[in-house]
Structure formats: structure tokens, C-alpha cells
Amino acid sequence: MSPRRDNRQLPEVVISDELIAPVCSGVELCYQTFGDPDAEPLLLVMGLGGPMTWWDTELCVELAGQGFHVIRYDNRDTGRSSRSSGRVTRPTLMRAFLGAPTRAPYSISDLAADAFGLLDHLGLSSAHVAGVSMGGMIAQTMALEAPDRVRSLASIMSSTGRRTVGRQHPSLLPTLLLARKDRDSYVEGSLAVWRIIGSPRFPKDEDELRARGRETWDRGVSRPGVLRQMMAVLTQPDRTRALMSLAVPTLVMHGLADKMVHVSGGRATAAAVPGARVVMIEGWGHDLPTPLFATYARAIRSNADRATAVVS
């Protein structure tokens, strides 16, 4: 599948205001929708520490143009959604990183329950689901725990939970654990991270990255929340065996230059899920570069059509 974008004009779509949904156990999620409410719902799930705006508005519009009612949202502990409780110390985090038994304030399954709660709030019995990184882990968990509610699954630059695949590059951990106490230090820190994990074939302009860092900070950054999300990722179960029985139409997309979640995580996911479609792209790292928006949209649409074909 070609990573080139075509030159067609993006469609005009209806974009909602940001809204708040009470979902479960006192958790409230901030969300926004794009496109026709009567179109097929597509839930977009972001990764570790990322607000919903990391699903770029242009990409959401492009997906809406593919016939989806697009829903993006802030996971708990990010952006404008609720903050959870529970303190995670660096020693606890390191024990979890090394595989020692530890307790997390909440689990990937809890984050999947939040997503289902958002669907309930919207009156949706099911939706297509696409998740990036930790969001892919949440999306996989949704498909396993309630396959009747997930019409199709797109697992993007993610992994199965097996500790031997999808590991981070060693250069990342010290950068990720540094505390960022104010807006300027957060922006500089995020720039340092994106220099490591960004796509070498599709580099982003540093001014653009700084602007996104400022927007992310202004939207709401919770350092304790990021650590709680990290603990959910580090303590997640290995889903490999369960994925082998998954019947939901599945798309796996991964970059061959990904330093945050090694491509072995995507390959393991694709190998586990029967009939999974696979898109691997040279020079794509751990981000969503603009030149690949059309590629993502077409692949997600094509995979969703497999679910439509089964229903019809």
C-alpha cells in the first residue's frame, strides 16, 4: 500500500464542540465527533500520555470522508478527562518494567471499560475501533472482552502484551522518566522524545512539534497520570493466546523504524489474529505523520468493509 497522499480536496464535515461524558465509576471523558452521526461509528483511542488532539483534525476529517462518524477522546489521566488516584513511584515503575509483581492503580481492561462507557453514553451498541500504541492495547482488549461491540479492529504501532515483543529502545526510558515541571520544560522534553521516536522518512518541522507540545500542555498534562498509564501498560496480560480466537476483522499497521514499540509487537499481533491484514511501512516511526493520513484512512476503511460484508 503506497504511503503517498493524493491531491484531492478534503471533504467539509461537521465537527462537534468538545463534550464531557460520564462513563463509569466517577470517570468523565472529554470527546469530540466528526462527520455524519448516522454514518458508521469509528472510535479513535490514543496512546500513552496523548490527548485526543494527537489524532490530528485533518486525519479525523479524512476518516469522516471515508464514511465514518469519527469519535476521538481523551483517555482518563490525559487532556480534559478525569484524573484518577493512586501514586506510582519510580521504584515501583522500575519493578514493573523488570517484570516483578506489582499492582497498578488501574488496568488496560479498566481503560477499555471507559471506552465502552463512552459508547454507551453516545447510544452506540458497537463501533469500529482504531487504537495507537497503548490505544491499540485498549482496542485489542475491547475486541476480546466484548467482540459483539467491536465491528472491526485497527491495531496501530501496538503489541500483544507479551514482554518479549514490542520493547522500547533503551535510549527512551531515561527521557520518558524525566519530570517536566512547567510549560517550557515540557515542550523541550516532548521535542527530545519526538526526535527519538519520530519517523525518519517523514520528519516533522520542529516549530510544529513545539506548537503541539504547547497545545498538549495547555490542554492538561498530568505527570502522575502518565505514570499510572505506564503502570497499566507494564502490568497488562499477554493477550497472544486470546487473540488467536479473535474473529473481529483486524488490521495491523506498524512502522519499521518504531523505537517506542518495536515492530516485533505488530508482527506478533498480526501472527496471532487469524486473517489479520498487515501494513508495514519503511521509515515510519512512532507518530502519525501527515503524508500517511490517506494511507491510514484507506486501510481502516478497507478493513471496516470486511465487517460490513459479514453483516450484509
| More reliable by pLDDT, 181 or 63 | 63
Is 13 part of any domain?
no
- Alpha-carbon span 111 to 92, nearest angstrom: 20
Nearest to 177 by CA among 154, 197, 198, 193: 193
Tell me the per-residue pLDDT of 110-140, one tens digit each, with 9 for 90 and over.
999 999 999 999 999 999 999 999 999 999 9
pLDDT-derived band at 5 (thresholds 50, 70, 90) equals very low
Considering just the CA atoms, what is the radius of gyration of the chain in Å? 18
| d(C-alpha 189, C-alpha 213), whole Å | 9
pLDDT in tens, 102-111: 999 999 999 9
Asked whether residue 244 is domain-assigned, the answer is: yes
DSSP states of 31-87 as a string?
EEEES-TTSEEEEEE--TT--GGGS-HHHHHHHHHTTEEEEEEPPTTSTTSPP----
In this model, does residue 2 exceed pLDDT 60? no
Q: What is the pLDDT of residue 97?
A: 85
CB 140 within 8 A of CB 158: yes
- Mean pLDDT across the chain, nearest whole number? 93
The pLDDT value recorded for residue 173 is: 67
Is 304 part of a structural domain of the chain?
Answer: yes
The answer to whether position 250 is within a domain reads yes
Residue range 24-40: mean pLDDT, rounded: 95
**Parent domain of 142:** 19-167+223-311
- Tell me if 156 is assigned to some domain: yes
Has residue 169 got a pLDDT over 90?
no
Asked if the model's pLDDT at residue 174 lies above 70, the reply is no
Instruction: Establish if 269 belongs to a structural domain.
Output: yes
Q: What is the pLDDT of residue 1?
A: 38
Q: What is the CATH number of the domain that holds 111?
A: 3.40.50.1820
pLDDT at 312 over 70: no
The verdict on residue 112 lying in a domain is: yes
pLDDT tens-digit map of 192-245: 889 999 999 999 999 999 999 999 999 999 999 999 999 999 999 999 999 999
Residue-level pLDDT at 25: 81
Whether 68 maps to a domain, the answer reads yes
pLDDT in tens, 57-77: 999 999 999 999 999 999 999
- 137 or 98: which leads in pLDDT: 137
The model's confidence at residue 90, banded by pLDDT at 50, 70 and 90, is confident
Share of the chain above pLDDT 70, in %: 93
pLDDT of residue 144: 98
Number of domains in the chain: 1
Which residues contact residue 149 at a Cβ distance below 8 angstroms, ignoring those fewer than 6 apart?
A: 116, 119, 125, 126, 127, 142
